[in-house]
Structures are given as structure tokens and as C-alpha cells.
Amino acid sequence: MKLALREVSYVVASPSIIATKAVDALIAEARLTPKPALVDENGSGAHRDLDLDTMLRSANALQPSFLAMARAASNAQPSQVLREQLARIGREGEAAMMRATGGSNAHRGALWIIGLLCAGASMNATDDSESICLSAADIARFDDRYAPASVTASHGARAAQRFHVRGARGEARDGFPHALRIGLPALDDARARGSNESDARLDALVSIIASLDDTCLLHRGGLQALEAAQRGARTVIECGGVASGAGRRALKALHETLMKLNASPGGAADLLAATLFLDSLRRLP
């Protein structure tokens, strides 16, 4: 018996679409309201040097970098050369971000995370989030031999070393589990329960906060802030999510707790943006 061979095809988005979706994800994360101690449409949260307008300028300033990263990875494979090419583009993007924000670090962590995912998206089908994350992880496992000393001296890197947590670099090398295994399922579950899109995205953020060893929280408030954030986020989940009255009150209590500690779950916000980016790719027509 002769078996018919079926041709399998899949869609890889163009670099321009990937870059547009990356910026859209950063803007969607920034505008999402109300977030605990983070910049949103209600205010600056625990950030004295940031506001919503600054976050939006930063996101738009990164579009050329995301486009360059997606183009660099198109028809490529993870390699040392590609890793260092993306790092060079990223440093140029960080400089553009700083110019746009007047020196405020709005999206340094997000540039690392979303930039790698832009590269992964150029190598895989838009609806294959797992392969996108795996390709990005393969790239992240190469060291950047030309990285400036400031990379290892960043607040996040120092917090990861001090508190013995994986940090943003470990998250990337592990394949972004907090976006792929926590953020996306929480988003899908909330939608399936009938939550509106804003509440579904807040549930995804809360789920990430409940699990992530967030170096932004550790840097600004130590273990006390991390434990308070995770405990408060778990309470929101146990109350049925932010769509419920009890869950919304628990979210407000989490915000007030973190504001008193002057601590912000910025790492979780970056991973929510990654979640929204992956979600937008898989929903492309």
C-alpha cells in the first residue's frame, strides 16, 4: 500500500509584523489598569522616574531594534554569531530608549526578553509558542563575549546573585516558563471563564507574580517585598481572580502593600508583555 505524503506548511510572520506586535505588547502592558505598584493609567505606582507617557515613548523607540532583531534571525539558526549580533542591536536599542525617556530605564528587561522572542518568532510558526520560546532560549544560552561590565552590574543581575535566583537570564535560558507555562494558560483560563480582556490580562499578571522570583522586587525591597507580593498575588487567585469582587479587593490590597514597601514587580510586568506578545502572534489570522 502506498502512503500519500502530505505537505505540511506553516506561517512565519514577517519581521515588520513581529516588531509591530512586540511594540503593541509593551504598550498593552503599560496601559493595563489597575496594576499593583506598576505604571498604568492610574499613575506611576512605585516608580518616581516613570509615568505612562514615558513608557509609551520607550516602547515606540524600541520598534527599530525589534525589527532589526527579527530580520537578523530570519532564515538563521541559534548561534554565537547571532547571539552577539542581537546583543549589539540591543545595546543600540537601549541607547535609543534612554534618549526617548530622558535617561529613565523603562524597558531594559523587556528589551532582553521581547528581543529574544522576536528572534524566536522569526524562526518558527506564529502559533507555535513553545518553539518560539525554545529557539529564543537556544540563543540566550550563548554568552555575549562583548558584553560591557554594566550588564553584570545591573540591579537585576546583582539581585539574582545576592538572593541566588535565576533572574532574567535564567528565565530566558529556561525557555520563558513564566510566559509559556503560567502567563498564557492563566490568560486562556480567564477568557474561558468569561472574563473581559482587561481582567484576563490582570489574572495573567497576578499568576506570574505569584510564582516569579522577581529581581525587581528583590532589588527594591528584598525578600520581604518578594514574599509579600507572592502572598498577595496568591490571595487574588484564591479569591477567584480579579473579575470577582473579593479578587479585586485583594488586588487593591496587594497594590497598597507594595506601595508601602516602595517595591514594584517589574520583572513580572516584562513577562506579562512577553505573554501578550506570544498571544498576539498565535492569534494572527
Question: Which CATH number do you get for residue 269?
Answer: 1.10.4200.10
Q: Is the peptide bond before 185 cis (omega within 30 degrees of 0)?
A: no
Residue 6 counted as domain residue? no
Residue 1 counted as domain residue? no
Residue 172 counted as domain residue? yes
- Quick one: pLDDT at residue 153? 54
The domain total for the chain is 1
Closest to 47 (Cα-Cα) out of 104, 128, 89:
104
Residue 118 counted as domain residue? yes
Cell numbers 481582567: residue: 199
> Cβ distance 264 to 48 under 8 Å?
no
Give per-residue pLDDT as tens, 182-211. Answer: 999 999 999 999 999 999 999 999 999 999
Q: Does pTM top 0.85 for this prediction?
A: yes
Q: What are phi and psi of 125, to 5 degrees?
A: -60, 145
> Cβ distance 30 to 55 under 8 Å?
yes
Give per-residue pLDDT as tens, 142-190. Answer: 998 877 766 655 667 777 778 778 888 999 999 999 999 999 999 999 9
Residue 192 counted as domain residue? yes
Residue 5 counted as domain residue? no
Q: Does pLDDT of 1 surpass 60? A: no
- Quick one: pLDDT at residue 57? 97
Residue 3 counted as domain residue? no
Can you give the residue range of the structural domain that contains 151?
15-282
Give per-residue pLDDT as tens, 81-128. Answer: 999 999 999 999 999 999 999 999 999 999 999 999 999 999 999 999
Closest to 229 (Cα-Cα) out of 79, 76, 45:
45
Residue 4 counted as domain residue? no
CA distance 150 to 240: 42
Query: Radius of gyration of the chain from Cα atoms?
Result: 19
